[in-house]
Amino acid sequence: MSNPLLTPFDLVPFSTIKNEHYLPAIKAAIAQAKNEIEDIYINEEQPNFENTIAALDYSGNQLSRLSVLFFNIYSSNADDEIQHIAMEVSPLLSEFGNDVNLNEKLFHRIKAVYEKKDSLSLTTEQHTLLENTFKNFARNGALLNELQKDELRELDKELSQLSLVFGAKVLNDTNAYELLIDNESDLAGLPIDNITEARETAKAKGKEGWLFTLDYPVYLPFVTYIQNRDLRKKMVLAKNALGFQDNENNTETTLLTIAKLKIKKANLLGYKTYADYVLEERMAKTPSTVKNFLNELLEKSTPFANKEFAELELFAKQKGGIDKLERWDGAYYSEQLKKSKFNLDEEELRPYFSLENVLNGVFDIAGELYNIKFNKAPEVEVYHPEVSAYKVTSTLTNQLVAYVYTDFFPRSTKRAGAWMSSFKSQFKKNGVDERPQVSVTCNFTKPTATKPSLLTFGEVTTLFHEFGHALHGMLSDTTYPSLSGPHVYWDFVELPSQIFENWCYEKEALSRFAKHYETGEVIPDALIEKIKAAASFEAGMQMLRQVGLASIDFGWHAVESLENVKHVKEYEAELTAKTSLYPETAGVCTSTAFSHIFQGGYSAGYYSYKWAEVLDADAFEYFKEHGIFNKEVAAKFKQNILAAGGSAHPMDLYKAFRGAEPSIQPLLKRGNLN
């Protein structure tokens, strides 16, 4: 069988790839990577930076490309067959990673270079790579004895499989739920576009009426606008019961096992908790630093959150006769209150935010800041008809900067949420600057038969957020693959994404792309003022919610034992006692579908969203002081943050950009929390 993945390629040849190609190709790439690594540790020359550290970083490039390709497809277009292949691929990659990290001969060479680092004339990037390489091996078991190494191999294999099981169960539970409404009067309050989409969804499934799923672009408008409280309750309970129901998709045992195995792994490697292990390689450094940070946010936000919740509760009582505000009332009455306070209706904004216009605005703003341009590239193959590809070039030199793929709409084979990933990382080797290929994946409101995709303002900021990550990948200018683009400390990685959201609130930026999809009219100044005024609406409640999610994360990962935890829901209630505003609700649980920490890479790291908000608020303050399109500030941000990747410690990079360490005050000021 001819396998296109076994032939070297630059752009991915999606049209010729079949599911059955992935497993044999990845097995072949593992064998190739093993040979490349063997060449390093059998080298009879004295170990030095180039023949050991750099050689190791460049090794396994084909395997890296195939594995990220496969798992991008797994996240974006996973049919049943892909899910089964993932269960085979994941342990193979885990086993390979352990074989490398636990290779004594290889580590002996790395250690030899590391021990003479002070006598080597290394660049900052080379020094960082050497430090990272040595620490990576030490932190992944290189110093363990043989019995301990075998135990670590088994732990990592089991963890990799369980994370896939967790994700598959959440996806299956999500896909299993449908709410069919056959009485049109029950749709009162819901925008016409969402009603039309629900009608089309029902028709596509051969059903009469209006069909609603738990896909976020369907779920959010439903719970925000549907006047029927019982129906809102059904949807909210269904969404918050994912993984917590008495069916084959229940994740309680899975997540408990994952969390306990992580403690076991941390202990084996010499750490008290999994958070101690993770945070050693983060800006925050220690669990106590994170806890102090979260406590400070808790202290700052609680008075405001309590006041905001009391206001919302009173409003709901006056407006709807609600005696007790429940979680299925929150989004609905918050929207009504915001409309009342700011005379702002989110649906009033949608016509100004067609997906096409917003995407062009992203391209325009990024182009203005960083001297790049985006051109659609229909000749580039894609993995699904809804995906588009763009070629990014420099406006100064006309040279290739990157390729970017966009994938915007929900599918049953696609996980929820929004993310940026890469099909190829940037690096330099043998005088060639290999340019990156990145992807931006979201789950936005679909177009209907009569209207284009019209985004909520929240979806607008999501697109800017993920594109900020993409810029981090696209504009990378490092030598070594493991230091390129978003390969940075986890609590630093959200800075490029979160800062880019800020342009969504500025008239100078909005006037470029916020145009009525029918008339072309630029969004009125009055609406922009309302957007800015409403930006800090319920900021205290939002901050408290994020602290609550970070507390759940730390509750699973910053403890020495979970042996006394018998009930996931009860334990979660303890963790969120200080951050919960709504009454306790039976049958719902956050942990059981918390994919960020049990499937993604945010274990012991969910706090980083708020940590990075401190950075982004402080950084954008610098832009505002000089102009949001100031070329000098943008050049400094590009050079020291976006292009630099992980080539130096993030605090050093931030200070090189800003001239000082970040202050929390701009964040508090932005949310009117000071």
- Mean pLDDT throughout 84-93? 92
Fold identical between 4-143 and 351-517?
Answer: no
The predicted structure's pLDDT at residue 217: 86
CA 452 to CA 216: how far, in whole Å? 18
* Model confidence pLDDT, tens digit, residues 453-475: 999 999 999 999 999 999 999 99
Neighbours of 180 (CB within 10 A): 14
CB 463 within 8 A of CB 357: no
User: What is the percentage of the chain residues whose pLDDT exceeds 70?
Assistant: 100
* Model confidence pLDDT, tens digit, residues 53-72: 999 999 999 999 999 999 99
CA 253 to CA 669: how far, in whole Å? 42
The CA-CA-CA angle for residues 169, 77, 484, to 5°, reads: 100
Kindly report the pTM of this predicted structure: 0.85
The predicted structure's pLDDT at residue 600: 80
Asked if 296 is an active-site residue, the reply is: no
Identify the CA nearest to 262 among candidates 604, 570, 596, 491.
604
CATH class of 4-143: mainly alpha
Q: Is the dihedral of CA 559, 95, 416, 297 positive or negative?
A: positive
H or E stretch at 355: helix 355-370
**Collapsing DSSP states into helix, strand and coil, what is residue 420?**
strand
CA 276 to CA 287: how far, in whole Å? 6
Cβ-Cβ contacts under 8 Å for 282 (sequence gap 6 or more): 489, 490, 491, 605, 608
Neighbours of 122 (CB within 10 A): 17
- DSSP secondary structure letter of residue 388: E
* Model confidence pLDDT, tens digit, residues 115-167: 999 999 999 999 999 999 999 999 989 899 999 999 999 999 999 999 999 99
Locate the domains of the chain by residue range.
4-143, 177-240, 253-339+536-584+594-674, 351-517
CA 362 to CA 365: how far, in whole Å? 5
Residue 231 C-alpha from the chain's centroid: 30
The predicted structure's pLDDT at residue 415: 86
Say how many CA atoms lie within 13 Å of 193 toward its Cβ: 20
CB 651 within 8 A of CB 284: no
For residue 174, count CB atoms less than 10 angstroms from its CB and return exposed for 0-12, middle for 13-18, buried for 19 or more. Answer: buried
The predicted structure's pLDDT at residue 230: 97
CB 133 within 8 A of CB 214: no
Amino acid in the structure at residue 201: T
CB 161 within 8 A of CB 167: no
Q: Between the CA of residue 561 and those of 155, 259, 555, what are the distances in Å? A: 17, 9, 10
Domain 351-517 belongs in CATH node 3.40.50.880 = no
CB 155 within 8 A of CB 264: yes
Q: Between the CA of residue 35 and those of 113, 308, 570, what are the distances in Å? A: 21, 61, 50
Identify the CA nearest to 477 among candidates 645, 653, 631, 649.
645
Instruction: Count how many residues are written for the chain.
Output: 674
The predicted structure's pLDDT at residue 377: 97
Q: Is the dihedral of CA 226, 229, 234, 240 positive or negative?
A: positive
The predicted structure's pLDDT at residue 1: 63
CA 329 to CA 273: how far, in whole Å? 38
Pick the CATH number of 253-339+536-584+594-674 from 1.10.1370.10, 2.30.30.30, 1.10.10.60, 2.60.40.10: 1.10.1370.10
432: left (phi > 0), else alpha (psi -120 to 50), else beta? beta
The predicted structure's pLDDT at residue 460: 97
Cβ-Cβ contacts under 8 Å for 483 (sequence gap 6 or more): 125, 128, 129, 132, 645, 646, 647
Task: Identify any residues that bridge with 406 across adjacent strands, giving them in sequence order.
Answer: 388, 440
Tokens 């290189």, residue located = 142
The pair phi, psi for residue 75, each rounded to 5°, is -80, -30
H or E stretch at 376: strand 372-376
The pair phi, psi for residue 400, each rounded to 5°, is -65, 130
The pair phi, psi for residue 438, each rounded to 5°, is -115, 160
- Mean pLDDT throughout 512-516? 97
Tokens of 306: 């309590």
Q: Between the CA of residue 50 and those of 34, 40, 110, 120, 661, what are the distances in Å? A: 18, 10, 11, 12, 34
Say how many CA atoms lie within 13 Å of 71 toward its Cβ: 22
Helices 252-268 and 539-557, axial angle in degrees (round to 10): 60
The predicted structure's pLDDT at residue 449: 84
Neighbours of 406 (CB within 10 A): 23
- For 623-666, give the DSSP string: HHHH-TT-HHHHHHHIIIIITTTTSS-HHHHHHHHHSS---SHH
CA 99 to CA 74: how far, in whole Å? 24
* Model confidence pLDDT, tens digit, residues 368-408: 999 999 999 999 999 999 999 999 999 999 999 999 999 99
Identify the CA nearest to 640 among candidates 669, 608, 615.
615
**pLDDT at 450 > cutoff 90:** no
CA 206 to CA 292: how far, in whole Å? 54
The predicted structure's pLDDT at residue 341: 92
Per-residue confidence band for 448, with pLDDT thresholds at 50, 70 and 90: confident
CA 232 to CA 630: how far, in whole Å? 46
Which of 466, 494, 538, 621 is the catalytic position? 466
